[in-house]
């Protein structure tokens, strides 16, 4: 028996332990991801048209709000000058839009599964009801944006029972905005009266001292 054989018999053999859950390769992960995405898309396919409609009306609300901010900046340039972000897209506004989209999608998905597993035998479509509520809510906001800070007859009609969002663009209450406008109008009237008095005094002086 040689020396190498003797050492091999004396040296203990250490077994390599295999992991209980081996890591899958990239191809396996890719197949699992595509399968899961396909399953989710198939499950949510009936809700997709409602998701598109709600997304469109939310984007419309965002666009009309931006139009309102520009209209407010043109109508009240002195107040807008104090706010550098007036008439511009704001990061806080974008964050709010993303939150609204996420909440709307979650509501529609939840309503879809309620319709499939709970109210499928009832004469009530939970998905259509949820989508209709979102569209009505956002559509009302669009009308508020279009009618606010607008002097057209149809806008004045809607202003009778809708909220005027003009003050929100200056982060003040409607009462504060009304007080500011009233004070500016009173100052303008005072300046006009003072100019009239000054003009009359000048005319009288010219008449007295030809």
Is 62 in the same domain as 75?
A: yes
Please write the tens of the pLDDT for every residue from 15-33: 556 556 566 666 777 777 7
pLDDT at 97 over 70: yes
Is 77 in the same domain as 164?
A: yes
CA–CA separation, 144 and 169 (whole Å): 13
Q: What percent of the chain has pLDDT over 70?
A: 60
Domain containing 90: what range? 45-169
Please write the tens of the pLDDT for every residue from 106-164: 999 999 989 888 887 778 889 999 999 999 999 999 999 999 888 889 888 988 888 88
Is 55 in the same domain as 141?
A: yes
Helix (H, G, I), strand (E, B) or coil at 2: coil
- Name every residue whose Cβ is closer than 8 Å to that of residue 53 and which is 6 or more positions away in sequence: 131, 135
pLDDT at 41 over 80: no
Domain membership flag for residue 50: yes
Is 160 in the same domain as 182?
A: no
Which segments of the chain are extended strands (E)?
A: none
Q: pLDDT category, 80, cuts 50, 70, 90? A: low
Domain membership flag for residue 122: yes
Is 177 in the same domain as 78?
A: no
Is 122 in the same domain as 195?
A: no
Domain membership flag for residue 22: no
Total structural domains within the chain: 2
Highest mean pLDDT among 123-127, 128-132, 174-178, 197-201: 128-132
Q: What is the pTM of this model?
A: 0.65
Pick from 83, 132, 84, 79: nearest CA to 108:
132
Q: What percent of the chain has pLDDT over 90?
A: 23
Domain membership flag for residue 76: yes
């Amino acid at each position: 028996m040689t020396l190498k054989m003797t050492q091999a018999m004396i040296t203990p053999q250490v077994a390599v332990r295999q992991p209980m859950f081996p890591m899958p390769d990239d191809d396996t992960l890719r197949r699992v991801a595509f399968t899961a995405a396909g399953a989710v898309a198939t499950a949510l396919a009936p809700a997709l048209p409602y998701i598109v409609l709600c997304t469109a009306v939310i984007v419309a609300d965002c666009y009309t709000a931006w139009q309102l901010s520009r209209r407010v900046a043109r109508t009240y340039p002195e107040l807008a000058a104090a706010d550098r972000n007036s008439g511009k897209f704001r990061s806080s506004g974008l964050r709010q839009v993303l939150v609204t989209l996420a909440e709307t999608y979650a509501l529609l998905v939840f309503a879809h599964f309620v319709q499939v597993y709970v109210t499928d035998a009832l004469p009530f479509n939970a998905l259509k009801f949820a989508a209709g509520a979102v569209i009505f809510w956002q559509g009302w906001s669009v009308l508020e944006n279009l009618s606010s800070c607008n002097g057209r007859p149809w806008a004045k009609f809607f202003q009778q029972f809708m909220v005027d969002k003009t003050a929100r663009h200056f982060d003040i209450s409607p009462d504060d905005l009304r007080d500011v406008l009233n004070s500016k109008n009173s100052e303008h009237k005072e300046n006009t009266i003072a100019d009239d008095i000054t003009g009359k005094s000048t005319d009288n002086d010219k008449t007295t001292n030809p």
